[in-house]
Each structure stands twice: as C-alpha cells, then as structure tokens.
Amino acid sequence: MDLETVDRLLTTTRSVRRRLDFARPVEREVIERCLELAVQAPTGSNRQNWHFVVVTDPAKRAEIGRLYRQSFELYAQALPASGARSHTNPALAAQNRRVRDSAWYLAEHMGDAPALVIFCVEGRVEDAGPMAQASTYGSILPAAWSFMLALRARGLGAAWTTLHLRYEKEVAALLGIPDTVTQAVLMPVAYYTGDDFKPAERLPARDRTHWNGW
C-alpha cells in the first residue's frame, strides 16, 4: 500500500464549500460508485441498515437549500465573532474566520449543488441511552466519511453538514423519508476547482491524547 498517497488522501480531504463547481454536472455513475465504496465501511452488528437519498431534482434541491440557509442563519446568530479557543492563537483565529465565511457561502448556495446526498440510518434514538445512540450513528457515519474519501480521490468534493436537521421532518416529508429513519448527514456534492488542498491547522493530537486515563 502506498502510504504517501493514503496519508495525502486522509490529510487533504476537506469539507469543500467555496470551491465546489456548481455549474458542472456530476455523473450518476460516479455517485453510485462512491456509495458502493462507502458501504464497505463498518456497520454495527453488520446490520447494514443504511440508506442514501440522492437529490438531483432542482425544485427539491432548492427547497432543501432554503431550509438549510434558514437553519444556518439561526445558528450563526448564536456564534461568537471568533472561536472560543482561538483568540490567543492568531493563525487559528484566521482559519476560523475563513471557515465561517465559507460556511456562509455554502448556506447561500446549498441548493445550487448538482447533487445533495443525505445519509440515513434505520431507527430513532432520541430517547435512547448513550450505547444505542453511539451504535446507531456509528453504523452510518463511517460510510459518510468513506464516501467523502472516494469523492476526493475522483476530483469531487463535499461538505459534511447537519444544520438541515433543524427541519428534519420537513425534509423527510419533501423526500418521502419514513418516520422510522434518522437523517444523519447532508452533503452537497460537486467537482471542485483547483487541487492545492493542504492539511488543516489542527491542535496536536498529543495535546488531546490520554494514556491509561484522563
């Protein structure tokens, strides 16, 4: 296995927002292939209880985009001007401002993405305990991440978003998603422009790693 290529894929797969090419169509077969790779991800007890709703209909994309922007505006009102931890770190503060600006951009253009993919899992766990919640989400989130990696390897990008869940019932009604199914992630999918993605500025893992106890 070429570790250099694998490490580059893992460290440069970003949530792409501003650099999504909304004007270029995304081929159905590309999404289907990436989803086939995604279902190789781990799933609790091998239940394989995932579902993927791919939205390409312009009117439905526009409505989901409207709901997403509405949710984002409410979310943004509650955010501080900069990250709570970044005020003593100028580089991190600048990065947070860039992320915030790109998040606004995506909120304004979510419905313009050629495809929206919603990752769903059978079951509801709002009133369940931590074990049931972790097991349920743990059965769908690895597939979503594998999907992002598969897209990146093919020159496409996506953004991991969850703000549409403020209006989960409205989106479910729009798309005919059963009440017994949980929506976990919404991803706008498009080809991206440029290819100079770099590893993100992150807090060192060693600063957040605890050996044999907290």
Domain residue ranges of the chain, discontinuous segments joined by +: 12-83+90-195
Contact (Cβ atoms closer than 8 angstroms) between residue 120 and residue 51: yes
What does the block give as tokens for 78?
């509650």
Q: What is the pLDDT of residue 81?
A: 58
pTM: 0.91
Q: What is the pLDDT of residue 100?
A: 86
Q: What is the pLDDT of residues 4-52, one digit of tens each?
A: 999 999 999 999 999 999 999 999 999 999 999 999 999 989 999 999 9
- Sign of the C-alpha dihedral, residues 128, 129, 130, 135? negative
Q: What is the pLDDT of residues 113-132, one digit of tens each?
A: 999 999 999 999 999 999 99
**Chain centroid, CA 10 distance in Å:** 15
Which phi and psi (to 5°) does residue 93 adopt? Answer: -65, -40
What does the block give as tokens for 179?
């009440």
Contact (Cβ atoms closer than 8 angstroms) between residue 190 and residue 22: yes
Which phi and psi (to 5°) does residue 107 adopt? Answer: -60, -35
Question: Model confidence at 88, in pLDDT bands (50, 70, 90)?
Answer: low
Domain made up of 12-83+90-195: CATH architecture: 3-Layer(aba) Sandwich (3.40)
